[in-house]
Structure 1
Amino acid sequence: MSLINLRPWQSEAVRQALTWLLETRPDRHFLINAAPGAGKTICASVIARHLLEANEIERVIVIAPRTQVVSQWADEFKTVTGRPMTKVTGAHGSIEAYGTDLCATWSAVQGLQDAFQQVCRASRTLVICDEHHHAAVKAAWGDKADSAFADARFVLVLTGTPIRSDGKKPVWLAYDSKGAIRHPEAGTYTLSYGKAVDLGYCRPITFHRHEGRFSVALPDGDAVAVSGTNAPRLSPALKRIKGLERAVDFYRLACTPKYLPDGTPDLTSYQASMLTWGIEKLNALRESIPNAGGLVIAPSIEVAEYMAALLEKLEQTPGSGRPSQAKPVLVHSNMRHAETLIDTFRDDDRRWLVSVAMVSEGVDIKRLRVLVYLPHAKTEVAFRQAMGRVVRNLREDDGSRAYVVMPVHKIFERFARRVEQEMSPAARKEAPRPALKICRVCAAPNPRSAPACIVCDAEFPPPPQLFKTCGGCGALNTSTAQGCQACGQSFQSPFGVTLEEALRVGAIIRGMDLDEDEVREGEKRGPQIRAGVLASGDQLLIKQIQGLPDEAWGRLLKILMLK
């Protein structure tokens, strides 16, 4: 068990929690509502240690959102308490055989409800509920959690995003008519993101609203202009084109991969322009924070793979940086050992991590500084959770900011304004460029003009510079150039997308909003499944599939956990 040097807010939260749970005892629940990255895991572990030392509890059960976070909990809990914590990520086996203290995923609770209930009845148990918004009343996980832990001696609720965007209310806490938590003040400790920034626990954040102009080419030779700030104008005749109104939505176009004829990603696409901005910001940050990293959150596996390929191409262009680090780390739910890849990225020097949703909640990688945000879920909970990945401090004196690159979108802008309003006026101002650069060999600070480290003589590479190729003459230009320096051609032309490409981003079929990967899977396997059902002669099954389009089979397969 290590001696933990708590931050002032953590010490105050521990004191308040122990007073509420052990002295006044009006309720067995205590709520910690603190900004992502402020240190809720350590704080909760210290509370658990005090309760164990006071013989108020015999065991601790932590419920976390995903496998990666379960591992982090086990490591930090042992550091604080000296007690090993067994990781439970599958709904099988006997919990009693696992050991004293457990950390399970929310999904595991659903299958082990009775086992957890027996543990809480047999032992004085503290339940720590991490990312509490997952436990919604009348939702599967909420119902199971409420039953599984009904007999827990104490419940410590942790959240950084306490209100669910779907309006459902999580279990155990009271809410007012507007959806705000109404837990007693004495039983709640709150640390807002703005306060965490002012205290130096989290970094201030800058949002880059990335505009783009698209030109969607129609089969008859006409084109529809689309931008993030202006809705497309469609004539009555165009509105009659099936699927066109949905296809020319700006955000859908921002999520549409664009490939060259040879099948490689197009470096002149909208996504490439987003990534270019992120690369340049990361290059500048790595002068003072040599291991700073970037995170890309994509809306689907297909787009994640496309963004990873784009990053690799962009960072391998002449003068763009270190080729050895150009290949980003790609993780998604269909990959084996994805958690291992995330763990490796946390501790190495790779520049970019590309994910769909695996790194958007709870995962702690302190060196992340830049987020390129192109998600599927457009909720405030998801937005703030993703933002939390890049606001964590690597050290409290590094003076850096967090940066988010996101498409121009009224929903994202509304969320960003709320976050900015939480910060003090001083925190909203862009920080000046650091006066020193850090040697990546010996970590010594150096003047920005130094060609080599003044301590170890390691040479500083020249600042990387991204280039783009002129489509007219083929000349290389800096990525920020407004026009070609050789032939004068403007680079302000819209991003060209064909109607076929625009229509490929998923589908709406009989009220189902399908992702592109579901559509493709359904198109691939639907005819085979349909033929098999018909060949079976089972009239009940045949009746059920009548009229079901092939595209919908991808969603059905996902529901049945066959894919």
Structure 2
Amino acid sequence: MKLRNWQSECIHSAISKYKLHKHFLALATPGAGKTVMASVLAKLLYDQGDIDLVLCFSPSSIVAHDFNEALSEQFEAHFDGTIGALGNSFTYQALNTLDNKVWRLFEKYRVFVIFDEIHHCAGSNIKDANAWGKPLITTIKEKAAYTIALTGTPWRSDALPIALAEYCNESGQIQCDYVYGLKQAISDNVCRIPQVVALDNDQITVIEGDDTSHFTSFIDLLSQSIVPYSEIVTNTSVIEKLLTHSGHKLNKLRSINKEAGGLIVASSIAHAWKIQLILKQTIGESAVVVTSDEGNGNDLIRSFRYNQDKWIISVGMISEGTNIPRLQVCCYLSNVKTEMYFRQVLGRILRVTQGASQRAFLFMPAEPNLVEYAYRVAQDIPDSLPKVKFAQMGEGFTAEVTTEMSENNIISDSPIVASFGKPIIKSVNVSHDTSTIRRVTNNTTEDVLTLAADKLMRIVGRFNHKTFEIDGFDQLLISKRSMDKLNQYDRESF
């Protein structure tokens, strides 16, 4: 198998580090090919006589199956834990249910352990570890012959330290042994260039009792915390417009690549089925729905990976690590607004194939956080190419708030009456100057988004990640609550 340049470099870096240390952390952009790289590294260590067995842990059963296949291909042996197997591939959920037969392997054999999307495992000691991080800290860290930890989004939303990661004592920066960012992956033709299109409306009216407010975008509206974002992603007209735009783009791609597919990310199981119905009614197309309710969800995903069906709708089952290279269009209707999840979903449409057209498109509502993440991703795209576009809905949007607002100014079940217009696609030339995006409130103007990359992780105490600057990845702020929690851990550990 011919490896990509970054995969070969990463493998050589790992082999070199293993001469002195047993743990290796590789950061590579989603869609770069971490599964193959880790599997080839495992085979190389085995051929050199450095290991006897390989165990792999990953966040979902579909990814665990992919690692099983990749390792089986490299070793020409099975990886299912049966007699004659050279290892096994598990989900992180299985970590706390493994019997002593598995843990005894670490006593008798030299075990190489692969951790995919290691950011799911938190903790530097038993006090701050989560359920998946504890076995890594208490057993695997000391008893494994070697480990490789992989991640495409190297941070946690709760700001806890990542298990097995090393941090610089002086600056508190996380130490990655190898880094391969999106900018490099695009330059190497490893990842596609993503085009983000945000659905917006410039004629929004909100009626609350005797008060009427006007907004010029969803960014304006949602920044005021008057109407919950869930009302946007579940609104029938918003769904219709996003599906129309997504479907039009997917049809154009399929005229060149007949196998090109589209992913629709829903907020809930009921939402997924609603989207399927609207898709059928609006553009006359069907979709496979994959949720935790489907007992054969993984089979549906694997089938979609190799067939030529157009659409698949998922609630959390096709995000990080799930390999469906033919996906080129994504309609983001999830109510999850974290940068980690956004980047992981975007990564599903970035894998380069042998198809004639390698363009990738993500359609989403113009929610403030999501728009900011899109601009951050755009910083890694060549300046000569389009970065973020806005699709205007065309006519007015009216929301009537008829219930009292909670202290957070949002009640999730507050009735909202809304009307939408026809879609008009309009390109927007975007500047990185934050002054170009503002909101207007009572004739005063203030900045909504900080488009420049600020600090990614600020964790006080032993895990003081002060500034995490890696080419191709940007930053987010950590809450005071999380920092106080880590300070408490530090005090208790002395």
Matched, 1:360 2:319: yes
- Classify 1:99/1:332 alpha carbon distance in 2 versus 1 (closer, same or farther; 3 Å): same
Residue 315 of structure 1 and its aligned partner are, at CA, apart by 2.1
| Alpha-carbon distance between aligned partners in 2 of 1:133 and 1:153, rounded to the nearest angstrom | 21
SS in structure 1 opposite 2:74? helix
SS in 1 for 2:132: helix
Structure 1: which amino acid aligns with 2:118?
A: H
Q: Residue in 2 aligned with 1:110?
A: 96
Aligned to 1:248: 227
Query: Within 1, Cα distance between the matches of 2:272 and 2:309?
Result: 17
Candidates 4, 14, 39, aligned match of 2:11: 14
| 1:167 and 2:169 correspond | no
**Aligned counterpart, 1:371:** 330
1:97: how far off?
6.8
* C-alpha contact 2:262 2:330 (8 A) present in aligned 1: yes
Partners of 1:210 and 1:406 within 8 A in 2 = yes
Cα contact 1:298–1:355 (8 A) shared by 2: yes
Give 2:291's match in structure 1, choosing from 310, 332, 335.
Answer: 332
Partner of 2:306: 347
The amino acid across from 1:141 in the alignment is: W
8 Å contact from structure 1 (residues 209, 408) kept in 2: yes
Residue 289 of structure 1: SS of its match in structure 2? coil
Query: Aligned partner of 1:493: which letter?
Result: E
How far is the alpha carbon of 1:111 from its aligned partner? 2.0
Indicate conservation of the 8 Å contact 1:210/1:405, yes or no.
yes
Instruction: Tell me the alpha carbon deviations over residues 496-528 of structure 1, each in whole angstroms, 9 at most, x when there is no partner.
Output: 55657x99xxx989x9x9988xxxxxxxxxxxx
Q: Is the 8 A contact 1:270 1:495 kept in 2?
A: no
Partner of 1:277: 245
How far 1:135 sits from its partner (Å)? 0.6
- Alignment deviations for residues 309-349 of structure 1 (CA, whole Å, 9 cap, x no partner): 11111222xxxxxxxxx210111112221111111111111
Note the C-alpha offset of 1:229: 3.0
User: SS state of the match for residue 389, structure 1?
Assistant: helix
Residues 118 and 498 of structure 1: CA distance in aligned 2, closer, same or farther (over 3 Å) = farther
Partner of 2:265: 297
The residue aligned with 1:58 is: 52
CA distance in 2, matches of 1:277, 1:131: 32
Report the equivalent of 1:384: 343
For the residues of structure 1 that align with 2:26 and 2:296, how far apart are their CA atoms?
Answer: 32
Q: 1:228 aligns with which of 213, 218, 243?
A: 218
* Deviation at residue 164 of structure 1 after TM alignment: 1.6
Aligned to 2:430: none
What letter is aligned with 1:14? I
CA distance in structure 2 between the partners assigned to 1:179 and 1:403 by the alignment: 37
TM-score by length of 1: 0.65
Task: Tell me the residue number matched to 1:404.
Answer: 362
Task: Work out the CA distance in 2 between the residues paired with 1:53 and 1:514.
Answer: 60
Matched with 2:136 is 145
Match of 2:119 in 1: 133
Q: How does 1:89-100 map onto structure 2 within 5 Å?
A: 99-100=85-86
Superposition pairs for residues 403-442 of structure 1, below 5 Å? 403-426=361-384, 428=386
- Residue 190 of structure 2 aligns with an amino acid whose one-letter code is Y
Measure, in 1, the Cα distance between the counterparts of 2:132 and 2:335.
22
Aligned counterpart, 2:435: none
CA shift, 1:146, in A, is 2.1
Identity %: 30
1:216: Cα distance to partner? 5.7
Which residue of structure 1 lines up, in the alignment, with residue 183 of structure 2? 194
2:395 is matched with: 493
| Deviation of 1:39 (Å) | 1.1
Preserved CA contact (<8 Å) 1:161 1:385: yes
- Cα separation, partners in 2 of 1:141 and 1:429, compared to 1, 3 Å: closer
Match of 1:195, SS? helix
Inter-CA distance 232–107: structure 2 relative to 1 (3 Å threshold): closer
What per-residue deviation string (whole Å, max 9, x for no partner) do you get for residues 456-498 of structure 1? xxxxxxxxxxxxxxxxxxxxxxxx9x9xxxxxxxx83334556
Task: Give the alignment partner of residue 120 of structure 1, picking from 90, 106, 130.
Answer: 106
Does the 8 A contact of 1:63 with 1:103 survive in 2?
A: yes
Query: Residues 222 and 368 of structure 2 are in contact (CA less than 8 Å); yes or no, is this contact kept in structure 1?
Result: no
* 3-state SS in 2 of match to 1:290: coil
CA contact (8 A) 1:255 1:303 kept: no
CA distance, structure 2, for counterparts of residue 119 and residue 367 of structure 1? 38
What is the CA distance between 1:246 and its match in structure 2?
Answer: 5.7
Cα distance in 2 for partners of 1:116, 1:247 equals: 52
The match for 1:44 among 3, 23, 38 is 38
The 2-side partners of 1:192 and 1:297 are apart by 24
- Which residue of the partner structure matches residue 74 of structure 1? 68
| Residue matched to 1:286 | 254
Q: Residue 154 of structure 1 corresponds to which residue in structure 2?
A: 146
Counterparts of 1:53 and 1:96 in 2: how far apart (Å)?
A: 21
Structure 2: gaps (5+ residues): 124-128, 414-494
For 1:407 and 1:13, locate their aligned partners in 2 and report how far apart those are by CA, in whole Å.
37
Matched-pair contact (CA < 8 Å) for 2:77–2:85? no
What letter is aligned with 1:55? Answer: G
Post-superposition shift, 1:371? 0.8
TM-superposed deviation, 1:398: 3.1
Q: CA deviation at 1:253?
A: 2.2
- C-alpha separation in 1, matches of 2:118 and 2:6: 20
Q: Could you tell me how far 1:77 is from its partner in structure 2?
A: 1.3
SS in 2 for 1:163: coil
> Contact 1:52–1:58 (CA<8 Å) still a contact in 2?
yes
Contact 2:265 2:330 in 1 (8 A): yes
Mapped contact 1:247–1:253 kept (Cα < 8 A)? no
Decide whether the 8 Å contact of 1:113 with 1:144 is kept in 2. no
Which AA in structure 2 matches 1:45?
S
Q: Which amino acid aligns with 2:175?
A: R
Q: 1:164 to 1:71 in 2, by over 3 A?
A: same
CA deviations on 1:246-267 (whole Å, 9 max, x unpaired) are 6613x23212344xxxxxxxxx
Contact residue 265 and residue 313 of structure 2 kept, 8 A:
yes
State how 1:538-553 maps to structure 2 within 5 Å: none
Deviates more, 1:105-114 or 1:170-179: 170-179
Tell me the equivalent position of 1:84. Answer: 78
Computed over aligned residues only, the root mean square deviation of the Cα atoms, in angstroms, reads 3.0
Alpha-carbon offset, residue 132 of structure 1: 0.8
In structure 2, what is the Cα distance between the partners aligned to 1:62 and 1:514? Answer: 43
